[in-house]
Every structure is written in C-alpha cells, then in structure tokens.
Amino acid sequence: MSDMGKKKATIYDLSVLSGCSPSTVSAVLNGSWRKRRIKEATAQLIQGLAEEHQYTANLQARGLRSSRSGLVGLLLPIHDNRYFSSMAQTFEAEVRSRGQCPVVVSACRDPEEERQIVETLISYSIDELFIAGATDPDGVHEVCIKAGLRHVNIDLPGTRAPSVISDNFEGARMLTRAIIEQAQQDGAVPITADEVYLFGGRDDHASRERIRGFRDIKIAMLGESPEACIQPTGYSPAMTARAFETFYESHGKLPRCFFVNSSINLEGLMRFLGQHPHETFADIVVGCYDYDPFGSFLPFPVYMIRQDSEAMIAEGFRILDSTRPPAITHLIQPMLVPPRTALTGPLDALKDID
C-alpha cells in the first residue's frame, strides 16, 4: 500500500495530486470555489481526490461543517519592532478571549510576499484577517475578495476595505510642537526653522501625514518649513545612521531639534551616536514617532508618540462584527509621551511563571 493509502490526505497532498494551489484546494473544499471563479472541472477533480484519499484536517474539517475554522489572522510587515509586537500581543489576547485561535505572520514589507502569505492563510480557512502596515493593502484586498474573506486594514489604509489607523497628522503636530517648545525653553538663542529637521520614513500614507503635521506646526510656530529639513531615509537603521553622519560631516553638529519617524529610525540615531563623543548630542531635543520605554531615558530629552494599538485592534473587531462595513478610514488618537516616562503595555498582563 502506498504512503498515501496509509494516512488521510491533507490540503497539501491534494494540491500535489491535483496540480492546483493550496488556496484553490481550500476554496473547493469549503465551497467558495464558485466565488473565486474556479472551473467546475477543477472542483470535481479536487472533490474526487478528497473522497478517494479520505481528506480531513482538524480545524479545517470543523470549518467544512460550520463554515468557521476558529482561526483569525494578523499580517504584519515585521516582528522586530515594539509597536508591531505590542499589536500582535493585543491581537492574540483579544482573539483568545473570543474563543478563537490567532495566527500571526510577517511579510517583510514585500507586496508579493503579502499576497502569497494571504493565499496560504486562506488555504487554512481562516475566518477573518487583520492586514497591518501592508505595502500594498489593495492588492491583498483583491486576494481576500476572491476568497470571500472578511478583512480590515490596520496602521496603513487601503481604498477598498475598512481601515483603522493612527491620526498621524495630529500625532505629528503634537510631537513637533513639544520638541520646538522644549528647544525654545532650553536655548539662550531663539530657535529658527532651519534648525528643526525630520529624519526617516518613506512615501507611504503614515510618513506623508507625519511630514504634513510636522510642516504645519513649523510654519505656525517658526514661520516657514524649508524643504531641506526633510530627510527621508526609509525604515532602515543603517540608512538613518548614514543620514545623520552625512549631516554631521556637512554641518559639524546635529540639528538642535529633530523628529525621527519611527523607533527603527531612532535605532539609526543610536548607531550614529555610538560613534561620536558625548558633546555631539549634549544639547539636542528629539521627538520619536513611536514609543519605546528605553528611549525615554536617554541623556537628552526624547518626546515620543505612543500609537494606541489596543484601540485599533478593538475597532478592527468592531468593524468585522458589523454587516457590510463601508471602506472608510477610522482615525485613532495617539498619545504624546514626555521624557522620563515608562508606560504600561500588553506585556504587563502576562502572568509571572515561577
């Protein structure tokens, strides 16, 4: 007897036998193949193979009977970031409180990888999907629509599904105002617009809104916002460190006051500072559009923005629980965190293990 005859087949066995993708096999087995415009002949082939090889698969088998697998997915851009790891922790706790099972995976800011991962999650018959910080949320939306999967965008908006994001414009205004006021308070000479910089970010919705808020406050408080004061570096510590090094070599010092677009860019600043004497950063004021308790205790003032991932996840579930939610963007107010402040977060809810 062949190995296939000794055990019941899985979706991946049927994928190999039929020559179809796992997501196509899953769509046939859960009855959504017509919505995905899969040919009837393909559906009949897969159904025949499933019967022949006694297909079953735990949660998936339950999903075939009830149309609910109990799995809820969260697609992240990266894991190595306190903001996204906090979001994942909040998401997992909320999903478990609903008696479901969380599935968290990252796509490394790669749009093709995003779509492939979502297809794989669909092959496991997930019930719902949170799409966080996707590079191409509308591309992921197309995959979800074909499979009839309920989904919501978190952190970065799309145009074709509901989105829940931080109010990046207002958060940037709060952060920029705070660092300028601190620099004005600390300095003997009034600060000017060409001494206030922004480092980091790229051409995505969050960065554009933060730059818009930064410029809005600079113009209101300092009268202008020179284009040269915007230094986009992407979300890369190495590129951010090089940007600071280039500025330092050109000016012989850092700006008196600057806004870094994320904790990833703050890491780039730390790499730069590690290569220079204390005098290099003795009088700077920094704003970071992310919250990290360690950054709050650096030897110079660091104001931070804490994005409310708990409220975003809660709003995302509220939207998915509603009937036919419109494709609009919901804004969640972030919090300004002063220097020398350590806030509680999702990890504080974990129980100590002796």
Residue 328 has pLDDT above 70, yes or no: yes
The tokens for 134 are 């996707």
User: What pLDDT, in 10s, does the model give residues 139-179?
Assistant: 999 999 999 999 999 999 999 999 999 999 999 999 999 99
Higher pLDDT, 188 or 182: 182
Give residue 354's pLDDT band: very low, low, confident or very high (50, 70, 90).
Answer: very low
pLDDT at 96: 92
Q: List pLDDT tens digits, range 26-63.
A: 778 877 677 678 899 999 999 889 888 877 544 444 44
Secondary structure percentages of the chain, helix, strand, coil, to 5: 50, 15, 35
Q: How far is CA 32 from CA 89, 111, 300, 341, in A?
A: 31, 25, 57, 51
Residue 296: DSSP 8-state: G
The more confidently predicted of residues 98 and 187 is 98
Burial (CB count within 10 angstroms: exposed 0-12, middle 13-18, buried 19+), residue 210: buried
Is 307 in contact with 288 (CB distance < 8 Å)? no
Which residues touch 104 (CB under 8 Å, ≥6 apart)? 73, 74, 76, 88, 91, 92
| Identity at 35, one-letter amino acid code | K
- Specify the amino acid at residue 219: I
Q: What pTM was estimated for this model as a whole? A: 0.78
pLDDT(69) > 70: yes
What is the structure's pLDDT at 8?
A: 63
Confidence at residue 67, expressed as pLDDT on a 0 to 100 scale: 56
Residues contacting residue 348 through CB under 8 Å, at least 6 positions apart: none
Residue 64 has pLDDT above 70, yes or no: no
C-beta separation of 308 from 335 below 8 A: yes
Average pLDDT, rounded, for the chain: 88
pLDDT at 56: 59
* Residue 30 DSSP label: T
**Residue predicted with more confidence, 24 or 242:** 242
pLDDT-based confidence at residue 346 (cuts at 50, 70, 90): low
Asked if 331 and 166 count as a contact pair (C-beta separation under 8 A), the reply is yes
Percent of the chain with pLDDT over 90: 65
Q: How far apart are the first and last CA of the chain?
A: 50
C-beta atoms surrounding 298 within 10 Å: 18
Q: What is the pLDDT of residue 285?
A: 96
Tell me which H or E stretch contains 60.
helix 58-66
